[in-house]
Chain A
Amino acid sequence: MRRILWILFVFTGFYMGLQSDILVRATPQKYRVFQLEFASRAQGKQILHAWNDIPFSGKTLLQVAVNHTWLNDLLLVLFTSLLLLYSYLQMQHEKWLRLNELLRFNLLLTIGILLLGVEENYLLLHNMRHVNDPLFYLNPFWIAIPMYLMAGWSLIILIISMVKSALKI
């Protein structure tokens, strides 16, 4: 199960990397979808318009960004599945009670990351769909921040526990 998840995760990540590369190379300002997550309202609209103005493969670069964002949902599911699985498995090895509890907390955080991530992607897709409606821009910044904080925290706890186990502390 773990192997399948990793294979899918790596392939999806690789493909998304290629899409991101297209977006970066094709825009003079080298915009990425990642930047869109933290951009201000004005900046976000600017990025979307830049992509929408550049033709690509019969449509525009914006379609690449749309596909990238859909794939991000899959990557999110794979990432959170791996995080959940590893946190759970590591919890079975963690003797320190406090770390054991924090790994248990990771199980909840993982659900939070998934929900926030899906919501964030929904906002990004909404903005891409309404690129020509300037009043309909919804800033994903306030969802992205807690999501990345939760993901970062969970990974740190997991890594600390794994290193501790490996060093037999």
Chain B
Amino acid sequence: MAEIIAAEIPIPSPQAKLELIKKLLDNEISCSELASLRMYINEEDLSYIIEKIYDLNEVQVIKFATIDRLVSKVDLIKNAQRNSKFYAKIKKGFRNGVNKIILAEGDSWFNYPIILSDVIDWVSMQDNLAVYSLASGGDWLFNMLNARKYVEEFSVVHPDFFVISGGGNDLLGSNRLAAILEPSGRSRELSKSEWSGQLLKNVQLRKVIPLDLKRFNEGVKYLSKDFFALLMFFNLQYYFLIKGILTDGKGNMKLGKFAGTKIITQGYDYAVPNDKIAFGVNPLRWYIPFIRSFLGHGSWLKTPLLLRGITNQSVQSNIIYAMIYLFNEMMIETGEEFSKIPGLEMSVFHIDARGAVGDHGWTDELHPKPEHFKRIAQTFTDCINGLPSVHGKVYVVNECYPRKA
């Protein structure tokens, strides 16, 4: 295995690291400073950052990040069924060098309680794929990193692929969206953020998903410095997680035990703030008003936006557009960081679902209808099966499986 030394980036002292974290929280950190912080961040630093972003102490963060007990029980049951199916495949000699073993960790896009067929449900249906799932609806990326369940399972399952879906609940759970908005619409934080500026420059170079400048500009001026701090925080978290899997986890970036594992991330789609129940005439869509009535519809996006006095529907949608656009670019950028490391050039992939669901394709504010989950899952499957993408390591759902009008 190649030995990689990150010689260019000096190890910051604890005081220097704290200064960098403060700069991140103020959205005043430069790209090179962020790179330095990223290289040497640890779990305590990540905990500290999220406490500061949300103005909470550690106990409160853990409390907010804890999944509702009932949802947790249902998630466990669903995972038990999936993992039973996983072992049934294994017992039939599934591991033969051709079939693929997948370890899944994530939120409700990977484990939606009972009613919907989510991404992992559709992926698991493929005969050549066996999925071991740790996903829990409502889970925070912060939780996933803290609990480190995926670490234990890596050694047992030895997956060919690790798929992860996280960040949505960190961003939107428990009315958190209200905490990262600038309701005056006069935020200039984007121009302050060197790193976000770099992300947007890379959009022009990569040309993966074209940027709707009008929508973006209207939305981004409502995003506070806390959003940009959170965005960089996600970058740190994902980097920390992936580094821990693919390398020895230390600053020298030596290839680790699981360097052969491919990692696939996803970045959600432009959700639509909405609190309408939407009773319809199609009996097959009975679950939409049911889910909307009982499972939090309106509480993730619409209510927090209204809480901050942002009432215009178009502005609300554009805020989410700007957030998700940047979130996906952050994910792509994070993956690109690893492609610079010899031996890891083709290790981190991204499923880009931007624009895949459309305004009318949502079961509720955050979850696509089953047919769109299926399209996203098919894109995951293509990536896993090694089908090429015109964008290299980024697979665009709308290009692979265009949405029907």
A residues with CB within 8 A of B: 88-89, 91-95, 97, 100-102, 104-105, 107-108, 168
Given known contacts A92-B121, A97-B371, A102-B284, A107 and B115 CB-to-CB distance under 8 angstroms:
yes
A39 to B307, CA, bound (A): 59
| In the assembled complex, B98 has its CB within 8 A of some CB on chain A | no
Q: Which residues of B contact A105 (CB under 8 A)?
A: 283-284, 286
Check A104–B374 contact: CB distance below 8 A.
no
Q: Which residues of A contact B85 (CB under 8 A)?
A: 92
| In the assembled complex, B124 has its CB within 8 A of some CB on chain A | yes
**Closest Cβ of chain B: how far from A27's Cβ, in Å?**
41
Check A104–B284 contact: CB distance below 8 A.
yes
Check A91–B283 contact: CB distance below 8 A.
no
Check B287–A89 contact: CB distance below 8 A.
no
Q: Which residues of B contact A107 (CB under 8 A)?
A: 114-115, 287
New contact pairs (12) apart from A107-B287, A108-B286, A168-B127, CB-CB < 8 Å: A92-B82, A92-B121, A92-B125, A95-B125, A97-B371, A100-B117, A100-B370, A101-B370, A104-B284, A104-B287, A104-B370, A108-B287
B residues with CB within 8 A of A: 81-82, 85, 114-115, 117, 121-122, 124-125, 127, 283-284, 286-287, 370-371, 374
In the complex, which residue of chain B has the Cβ closest to the Cβ of A103? B117
Q: Which of A104, A105, A107 has the most CB of B within 10 A?
A: A104
A-B contact pairs, 6 of them (CB 8 A): A92-B82, A95-B125, A97-B374, A104-B117, A105-B283, A107-B114
Q: Which residues of B contact A93 (CB under 8 A)?
A: 125
Check B370–A97 contact: CB distance below 8 A.
yes
A108 to B81, CA, bound (A): 21
Q: Which of A94, A102, A108 has the most CB of B within 10 A?
A: A108
Check A92–B115 contact: CB distance below 8 A.
no
**Closest Cβ of chain B: how far from A107's Cβ, in Å?**
7
A108 to B125, CA, bound (A): 23
Check B81–A101 contact: CB distance below 8 A.
no
Q: Which residues of A contact B283 (CB under 8 A)?
A: 105, 108
Q: Which residues of B contact A97 (CB under 8 A)?
A: 370-371, 374
**Closest Cβ of chain B: how far from A91's Cβ, in Å?**
6
A93 to B131, CA, bound (A): 13
**Closest Cβ of chain A: how far from B194's Cβ, in Å?**
45
**Closest Cβ of chain B: how far from A115's Cβ, in Å?**
14
Q: Which residues of A contact B121 (CB under 8 A)?
A: 92
Looking at the complex, which one of B81, B286, B374 makes contact with A92 (CB distance below 8 Å)? B81
Q: Which of B117, B121, B122, B124 has the most CB of A within 10 A?
A: B117
A116 to B154, CA, bound (A): 49
- The 5 A-B pairs with the shortest beta carbon distances in the complex, nearest first, are A108-B286, A101-B284, A95-B125, A105-B284, A97-B371
A89 to B121, CA, bound (A): 11
**Closest Cβ of chain B: how far from A84's Cβ, in Å?**
10
